[in-house]
Structures are given as C-alpha cells and as structure tokens.
Structure 1
Amino acid sequence: MSATATEDHVDLDRAQHLEARGRSRALLGSLLRPHKARLTLGAALVIVSTAGQVAGPALVAIAIDRALPALVDGDRTPILTIGTLYVLLAIVAGVTYAAYVRTAARISQAVLLDLRRRVFAQTQRLSLEFHERYTSGRVISRQTSDLEALRELLDSGLTGIVSGVLLMLFTGISLFALDWQTGLVLFVAVVPAAMLTRWYQKRSARYYRGTRTTSARLIVSFVETMTGMRAVQAFRREKANEKAYGDLAEEYRQANTRAFLLNGTFDPGLVLIGNVTLTVALLVGGLRVLDGSVEVGVLLAALLYTKRFFGPVHQLGVFYNAFQSASAALEKISGLLAEETTVAPPAHPVPLPSPRGELRFDGVEFAYVPGRPVLPRTDLTIPAGQTVALVGATGAGKSTLAKLVTRFYDVSTGRLTIDGVDVREADPTDLRRAVVMVTQEAYLFSGTVRENILIGRPDASFEDVEAAARAVGAHEFVTAMPDGYDTDVNKRGGRVSAGQRQLLSFARAFLADPAVLVLDEATSSLDIPGERLVQHGLRTLLADRTAIIIAHRLSTVADADRVLVMEHGRVVEDGTPAELIAGDGHYASLHRAWRDSLV
C-alpha cells in the first residue's frame, strides 16, 4: 500500500471515529434531555454534600487551635459549638449524598429503560436486509453486554466520579485557603499524578476497547452455536466449534489480562505518589510548627486534606475504565440506532381498506448489490383471486419475487402495485394485513398454541382459533397435547414436530385471512401423509384470495391456476399446469420426472 493510500485510510478511520463520537454524544444528549430537572437537583445535592465533607478538616483545625485552648481556660462554648456544627454538617453531607445517589439512580434507570426500548424498537423497525446482514449475535450483544457496560457506568461510576471531582476541587481550594504553602506541595504532586493518569488513559482506551470487541465476538460465537445446535451435532462440528470458541475465549482472557496488568501499575503508582506527598507535607508542616509559623490544628487539617485529595484520583482512574468500556458500547449502540431501514415507511400512506389482491409488476428490477440485478426487468400481472405457482431451480429468483410482494425489500426500479397502489406508498399496517407470508421456518414464539395462532389476528375469539386449526388439519394433534390449545410450545416450538409447527403457521395464516397469501416452501417440513392431510386445508385457505406458492414439490402446486417457471430471475414459461405439462418446456420435464419418481 502506498504512503498516500495509507494516509487516506488513516484519515478515513479518524473521520469515522469522530463521526461515531459525535453520534454517541448526540444519543446521550437525547437520553438525558428529558431529565433536566432531576439533573439540576442532583448537581445541587452533590455540591451541598461535598461542601459538608470538605468542611470537616477545617473545623478540626479550629477546634484544636481555638476551642481546646478555650476549654482549658474553662470556656466550653467553642468546643460544643464546633462539635455540634461538625455533627450537623456530617448529617447534611450524608443525607444529601444519599439523596444524590437516589436521584442519579432514577436518572440512570430511566435512561437505560429508554435506551433498551429504542434498541428493541429499532431492531424490529429495520428491514429484512439489515437482519440478513447483521448477525443475531451482534444484535444480542448490543442488547446485553453493551447495555450492561452502560448500566455499570451509570449505576456506580458516574455518581462516584461527579462527587470525586467536586471533592478534589473543593479540597484543593480549601487547602490553599487554609495553608497555601502546603497547597503548593499538593500542586507539585498533582503533576506526576496527572502524567501517570494520562499514561493510563491512553492505554486503557485501547485495552478496554479490545475487551469489548473480543467480548462481542465471544457472544456472537456462543449464540450462533446454540442457535444452530441441530446442524452442529448433525455434522459433528462440536470439536471445531469448541476450538474456535476456545480461541475467542483465550483472546478475551488476554485482553482482560492486559487491562488488569495496566491497573496493577496505575493503582500502586497513585498510592506511591499520594504517600510521598503526604510525607513531604508532614515534613514541611512539622518544621513550620516547630518554628511557630503554623499551628498544629492547621497542620493536621492540611494533612487530612492532602490524604483526602488522592482518594478521588484513584477513583478517577477506575471510572475511566468504566467510561472507556461504556463509550465503546455507546458507539456501537448509536451505530445500530443510526441504521436506516431500506424499506422506509411512506410519507403519505395510502389506505387499503378492502384489498382484493391484484398484483402488478411494471418494469420491476431488483438487486441486492447495486449493479448486479437478480431480477431483470419484469412485467407481470396476477389478477385478484388467482393462485400462481412459482417453479424453478434454487436461486432462480422465486423467493426474491415473494419478498418484494411482502415488501421485505423494495424494488430497485419500476413499480409493484396491489390493487393499483404502489406497495411503497401503501399504509404499512394495511399492507401487513393484506399480504401474509408463510415461510419454510414456521417460527413459533414462546407461549401457548392459542397465542401462536392468535398472532394472525389478535382480537379473534377462541372459536375462530379452533376453526382455523380444524381447517388446516391441526386440531387433532393440538387437542392431543397435554393442555390442548393452552399447551406451552416453548421456545422455537420445542414440544411440536417440524410438520406440526408448519400446520400451526397455516392456522395462523387462516386466521389472518389476507387478500394475498405467499407460501414460500411452506410444505417442505411435511411428510407425504402430512402434506395430503393439509391439502384440503390449503384449498380452503387459497380460495377467493390471491396466492403465490413457491415449492419444489409439484404436488403442492397441482391446484394452481397458473404456473410461472423462472430461470435467472426471468419468467421463461407462463401458463396453466395442463398447458405447460402438454408442452415440451422446462415444467413438462419437471412434471415427467416427478411422475416417474412416484412409480
């Protein structure tokens, strides 16, 4: 790579990093903006609490240098007054700090709740294209480990650092006001402490970003392995996956070890600087006490202030760890929230109150990657109520055509209309009600059989649910389950077979009663008896509605009004099943091969 190319690459990385930081700040600002009143209250509480804490050593100095001599002379008023004031300030400091912590906790939990909801809503809003590109493990990492890093910062680190910084500031001012010479000792000691802290910050930023990255990779690997466990065990991938996961776990261990070793240098360094500073302050102050230029109470107060000053410095370093981790997490979350859906909602939605289901492709082209169309120009009309079967080899473009009809993707050029309305302009709620897709996966959510069928129409009665199940032939096996329609199918339908899951997805589609139904390899999970069982239900489901059936099994498309044979994204044959079987085209060859396989 040339020097110019390298510089361009560095500039691009820097620009991307600055963009991510700006995006993160904007996100944080939008999260905190609704809590201005509470933030103001928290600031007032922490200032009062810190002032109460800092006043303690000054009162000690007054008590030693003024009140004790007065007590020796028989005057108890000064010592009682100072003691009472000390107790009152301690109570005020404690109460206001507790109130500050509670206020900060309420703010942090509200912010986290808002952020969790935003992340969840965003991942649901984004189009199918995003989810096919952005792995589920990465999405889960945003919702778990990244939000956990922010929680740790907001719950404990933020309250500590705000009070710590104010304590350092007030302590330094009080020390200079009490004894400027001891203040100079502290000022000199701040220089090496600042240099050590800066050295630590530079390295911790890199190390903790590394721990976040390796942690995300580890989560992605684990989630993908657990999700694909059937394939893992079927293809004996346990050893290979164990090695890959072990390598990632080792990277995570090394990243954490580097961070811990960094702390192992920073923490003792701060302790050393603090102790040396305290020793020098004691030496300088002790000599001045001996020559009478400073009083004993002032020296004691100065030593207390010096000792107290370095506690927050250590806290600042610890906070920076959490801050770096949370910053990296916030950048990733803000990146997710900044993702734009490729299927944008219409600016002026056109309602579809009573859709009939006529579909028209006018000069439609589509490409997943610009410049590489998988669907060349397509002009096609599917009249309302017609059942159309899409046939062709894998990769011919059948599923892509179906995804355009359901508007999981938008056409690259041309128009796709339903009842004359461009699907990009149709009201999204009406479109989802009008067009329903049953996929090969037949996903079931955790919950009961009844709840899974009700997804098709949440306001349906139990009688409607049962009627839908009967229509597709699912009622018998549902009633044979332990609790019938109230049986919990568990995650991914763990208590039902693949074929039964498919029947339940058919019942869901029955209940939805769409104008357009798309079946994408929807009978692939059914065996021959199961497929025969559902044929009657399919006929009932397909009646009086537009249907697009994608299937390799020709028995599934036998009742279609029309067959479209696709190759390389183009429709190469179009006709009724009888017309195409009588010809000598691709469908006729497929039909003969299928018929011979049944002999």
Structure 2
Amino acid sequence: MSTVTVQGVAGEERNDFSKEESRQIRRRSLRLLGSLMRPLRGKVMWALAVIVISTLAQVIGPTLIGIGVDQGISALTSQNWWPIALTGAAYLMTGIVGALTVSWYTVQSARISQAILLDLRKRVFLHTQRLSLEFHESYTSGRIISRQTSDLDSIRELLDSGINQLVQGVLYSGFIAVFMFINDWVSGLILFCSLVPLYFLTRWFQKRSQVLFRHSRVASAKLIVHFVETMTGIRAVKAFRKEKRNEKEFGDLVEDYRDVNAKTIQLFGIFDPGLVMIGNITVAVVLLVGGFRVASGALPIGVLLAVLLYTRRFFDPMEEMAMFYNSYQSAAAALEKISGVLEEEPSVPDPVRPVDLWQAKGHVNFDDVTFAYKSDRVILPEFTLDVPAGQTIALVGSTGAGKSTLAKLIARFYDPTKGSVTLDGVDLRDLHPKDLRRAIVMVTQEAYLFSGTVADNIALGKPDATDDEIRAAAVAVGADEFIQGLPDGYETDVNKRGGRVSAGQRQLISFARAFLANPAVLILDEATSSLDIPSERLVQDALLTLLKDRTALIIAHRLSTVAIADRVLVMEHGKVVEDGTPADLIAGTGRFAQLHAAWRDSLV
C-alpha cells in the first residue's frame, strides 16, 4: 500500500499513514475548520465583498492610465483639459477607495481570525480537560503543550496574514487577467501562455514543499516535547546526571530541524528566481509584440503601457502566494493534529441519563469485575468485593497486584471491562458526575498544588469554604502549625507546583483539601509515602477521627498506616488472597503476617 507523509495526531507522531487514512484526516480537519467558520459566515461574506471592491479599485488603475495617455494627451493639443483631469480624478478616487476598503478588510479579517483562534483554543483546553485519565496517561504533556502553543501559532500565522495574501493575490491576479483581455486580447493571450511554465514550476514546488513542511512540523514538535519533558523532569535529570545525554539528544533534534529548514530555503531559492524569470520573459514578449503593433498602428500606445503594467503586476502576488503555501502547509499539519485530539472520545463518558445521589452513604461493591488496560493484559480477573459503608479497608500487596487499579475504578478514572462497580447500589457509570466527585475523593502519592495561596489549594474541593472551615481542616490533619509559620500564613503563595513547601507539607495540604471536601468515600493511594515518621503519626491520629463513619480505602506499603484499618485485603495478581482484621492476619501464618514480621525486623 502506498503511503504519504503526514503529521501525527493523537498519541503518536506518525508519518506513515496510508492515502485513505490521509484523506480521512483531511476530511476531519475540514470538518473542524467548517465548524469554526460557521458562526462567522456573515462576517466572512461581507469581508469578501469588501475585498472584491478593494481589489477592483486597485486593478483598474493601469486602464485609467492607458485612457489618459491615449485620450487625455491628444485632447491637450487642442487645449481640452477635461479628459486628462477626469482620468486623474478617477485614478485618485480608485486609490482612495482601495486604501479605505483595504484598511477595513484588514481590521475585519483580524477580528475574524482572532474569533476563530479563541474558539479553537478554548475547544482544545476544554476537550483535553474532559478526556479521561487513559488519554492523559498515554499522550505526553509535551504533545498537549505543543497543540496549545506551536500548532495554534501556526494556524494564527495563516489566519493573520496567509489568508489575506491568498485572497488578495487570487483576486488581484484574476482581475488583472480580465483587464488584460479587455484592453488587448493578444497581450492577454501571451499572459495566458505564461501560465503553462508557471503551473509546472508551482506543482514542482508544491510536491517538494509539502513533504519538507510536514517534516519541519514533526521536527519542531519533537524539539518542544523534548524540551518540555526535560524541564518537567529536571529533578530526575539532575539526579541521574542526564545533562550530557540530553545535550546530545537535543543537539541531534536541533540538527534535524536545521537540515529540514535548510532544504526548505534551497527550495525557495529555486522557486523565487523561477517566478522572476517567467515574469520578466512575459513582460519582454508583451513589449516586443506590442511594440511592433504600436508601430503598425494596430495598438494605441496607452493600451501598450496599460498591458505592460498589468503584466508586471500579475506576477507580484505570486511570491506572496508561495509564502501562503508555506503557512498553509504548516497550519494544515497543525490542524490535522488538533483535529485528532478533538476527535478523541472520553473512555469514561458521562452518563446519558444520570442518576442523582445527593447523600451518599459509602457502600462500595465490585460485582464480577474484569479489567484490562489497552495492552489487553487483564489486571483484575472476575473480581468481587463488598465494602460496607463506614468501613476502612487497607490494600496490601506487591507492586502490580492491582491495588491502584482498584482505587482508579472506585474513583471512576476507568470503567470495568466487564462487570460493575456500584456506590450505594448505583452503577458508577450511571451516577451523576457531580455526585460522583462529591462522594469520592482520591489522594495520591503526588500531592499536586496549583498556583495560588495555601487556602486556595485547601479549598479546591469546596470553593465556597469559609476561612474557619479551611483552618479546621488543616488543624485536623496537623497542617495548621507549619502553615502558620509560612510568611503570610494561609495567604502564602505556594509558587509553581508547591515549590515553597516541602514534599511532606504538600501532602498534608492535600490531606486537608480532601478532608474539607467531606467525601463519603476517601481513597488514599500511597498518600503517606512523602511524610516523615512524626508527620505520619500526626496524620494517623487525625485519620482515626476523620475516617470515622466514612468509607476509606488505604493503599500503603508502610504497614504502620495499615494498623488503623478495620479490614486488610492482601492482593496478588488481581485477586484477594487474604481478608481479615489486622490483628487476625498478623496472628496467622499467611502473606500479611510475613510482611508484618519483615517490617518489624526492619525497624530494629
């Protein structure tokens, strides 16, 4: 099967799509463009009408000059100033009309392009935010950032200048061709013949530039992805001394990008002189043929002057239209990638007929649940579990046993492949999203803090919380003391990603955030891993109070955290191999007893 080079869309950057896939991608991009343009159809049509008038006013100038030469100058010999005066006035009026309409069109087209960009930027943000966790775990942050930055910038460049160049260039050249034939059909025929070499030169340029521009987009995207991921993971880079390797990898990417751009410049180095040569040869032929005809009296001198001006002007927009093709290729590749993201559907869709659950009790049930990620490797095979409301369960097991997967299913980050997960008898797939997020809160190992104050971050799950409620939540988890010690207390800006506070303090703030949200089900996924021993003990004291009468799922390798649970589940290969109270399991001879003994020995 023959293939063409196109820009990658969701997931991977690819350049090996089949022709049928490429056609589907183009149709998808056109659908997106059509949906963006649809609300602006009236403004676009009005802008097109204005630019037609503006171009016509600019193009009529050489014809007026020809009339002035042929009729105005001859009339001057008999002291008749009116023909030349009227021609000059008409030329001046067309100039004024052309300038005013171009000015209006420029402003109006800018407003249209900004409206399209605003709509598209909001669509990308809202849609990527709506997509499920599965998408974000497979689609790197660098690619998402590239969609919002370089790709949208490419589309902005096309809308801001490229479209204007194309519309004005096409209209300008089209009107010139019409006026050429009106003034002198022979010269118009010569101009028409020049389109043959112009067509072949343009097709040669298009075929080669299409590949190069798309390669340039891929190289640019790889640069951005590498840079973003390096800066995002700078701690790992420093810890593993990866600077030299990054330097080489980034250097290779820069070289690839430079090589592609160098080839593009070489392409323009042939195309631009080719345009100039065709234009000069055409002007020379029109002058030569027209000169003989003027000498024989078959063509007025003013008409020759007019067609020479038209011939020269005909080729002026060609280079700008070639630059439009540059912008178009870049923007088309960007639009393909953005449309790919916007075509992604959430793997965890909102229910069509949501069921309300205003006051959740916290009864969680797994009914014959089977779950597998996209790799088709089954993580939970026919899993059944009943968690009564108000019970605290600790999940223990080796890495890959399915503990975090279980937590993600309860939080509905993923849906079961088979079976169902219910909350108070309501399938999570049918539960209203607002009720689901209010009823179930998950605190992960990564305590992410957003830019803003400490109070803002604690109130994330309850934006209308009072200062007293925020502080009470912090006191409950033992975070109040260190927060009071910050420069501005609860109004202290945590800086980007919580850089002003330590890892343990970030975790305490995330605990306060979860407790303030007051969920019916609280999931702690390795949430105490960043805490030191004193802080962990303080949090455990708070947990004993705050988890009372609340369903809780605790995933922890630290068995000290497990001690506060009502029930311990030991998992292996997606199955529960032990189930009981901490005391009963410790007293036995099973897997948990061995883990507990090893943990106690490690403390000696």
Q: Could you tell me the TM-score, scaled by structure 2's length?
A: 0.97
Task: Tell me the distance in 1 between the aligned counterparts of 2:496 and 2:544.
Answer: 30
Aligned to 1:524, the other structure's residue is in SS state: coil
- Give structure 1 stretches of 5+ with no counterpart: none
Alpha-carbon shift at residue 593 of structure 1 (Å): 1.2
2:211 equivalent to 1:231? no
Amino acid at match of 1:340: E
Residue by residue over 1:5-28, the C-alpha shift from the partner in whole angstroms, topping out at 9 and shown as x without a partner, is: 99xx99961111011000000000
CA contact (8 A) 2:3 2:17 kept: no
Aligned to 2:404: 399
- 1:252 and 1:5 map into 2 onto residues whose CA distance is 23
- Which of 258, 277, 295 is the equivalent residue of 1:253? 258
- Paired with 1:233 and 1:349, the residues of 2 have a C-alpha distance of 48
| Residue type of the alignment partner of 1:321 | N
In structure 2, what is the Cα distance between the partners aligned to 1:451 and 1:325?
Answer: 41
Is this contact kept in 1: 2:366–2:383, CA < 8 A? yes
- 2:475 aligned residue: 470
Residue 342 of structure 2 is aligned to residue 337 of structure 1: yes
What CA distance in whole angstroms lies between the structure 1 residues aligned with 2:233 and 2:16? 40
2:126 is the alignment partner of 1:103: no
* C-alpha separation in 2, matches of 1:58 and 1:528: 90
Deviation per CA, 1:153-181: give whole Å up to 9, x if none: 00001011101100110000000110111
Q: Number of matched residues?
A: 595
Amino acid at match of 2:108: T
The answer as to whether partners of 2:445 and 2:529 remain within 8 angstroms in 1 is yes
**Residue deviations 1:34-55, cap 9 Å, x none?**
0011011111001000110111
Q: Distance in 2 between matches of 1:15 and 1:421?
A: 44
* Amino acid in the other structure paired with 1:539: L
Cα distance in 1 for residues equivalent to 2:84 and 2:376: 87
1: distance between equivalents of 2:585 and 2:3? 58
* Partner deviation per Cα, 1:288-320 (whole Å, 9 max, x = no partner): 112211111111110110011001222211111
- Structure 2 contact 3–18 (Cα < 8 Å) conserved: no
- State yes or no: 1:312 paired with 2:317: yes
| 1: CA distance, partners of 2:508 / 2:214 | 47
Distance 1:260 1:468 in 2: 62
Which of 74, 78, 102 pairs up with 1:69? 74
RMSD (Å) for aligned C-alpha atoms: 1.6
Letter in 2 for 1:492: R
Deviation at 1:370, TM superposition (A): 6.1
Alignment-derived partner of residue 447 in structure 1: 452
Structure 1 window deviating more from structure 2 (463-472 vs 511-520): it is 463-472
1:301 aligns with one of 303, 306, 316? 306
State the one-letter code of the partner of 1:411: P
Q: 2:580 is matched with which residue?
A: 575
Conserved 8 A contact 2:2-2:19: no
Q: Percent identity?
A: 61
Following superposition, the deviation at residue 538 of structure 1 comes to 2.0
Distance, in Å, in 2 between the alignment partners of 1:370 and 1:534 is 38
- The answer on 1:197 being equivalent to 2:202 is yes
| Post-superposition offset of 1:4 | 11
Q: What is the identity, as a one-letter code, of the residue corresponding to 2:573?
A: H
**Aligned partner letter, 1:337:** L
| Pair 1:364–1:154, CA change in 2 (3 A) | same
Where 2:561 maps in the other structure, the secondary structure is helix
The structure-2 alpha-carbon separation of the partners of 1:500 and 1:364, relative to structure 1 and needing over 3 Å to count, comes to same
* Partner residue in 2 for 1:351: 356
State the SS of the aligned residue for 1:357: coil
Structure 2 gap segments, 5+ residues each:
5-13
The residue number in structure 1 matching 2:415 is 410
Identify which of 324, 328, 333 aligns with 2:329: 324
What whole-Å deviation, never above 9, does each CA across 1:260-294 have from its counterpart, x for those lacking one?
11111111110111111111111111221122111
What is the aligned counterpart of 1:364 among 366, 369, 374?
Answer: 369
Q: How does 1:537-552 map to 2 (within 5 A)?
A: 537-552=542-557
Name the stretch that deviates more: 501-510 or 64-73: 64-73
Runs of 4+ in 1 over 3 A off after TM superposition: 3-6, 9-12
Structure 1 letter corresponding to 2:101? T
| Helix, strand or coil at the partner of 1:572 | strand
Greater shift, 339-348 or 526-535, is seen at 526-535
- CA drift of 1:537 comes to 2.0
Work out which of the residue numbers 112, 120, 143 in structure 1 matches 2:117.
112
The one-letter code of the counterpart of 1:368 is Y
Match of 1:589 in 2: 594
Give the superposition deviation at 1:555.
0.7
What is the alpha-carbon distance in structure 1 between the residues aligned to residue 15 and residue 278 of structure 2? Answer: 37
Does the CA contact (< 8 Å) of 2:3 and 2:19 recur in 1?
A: no
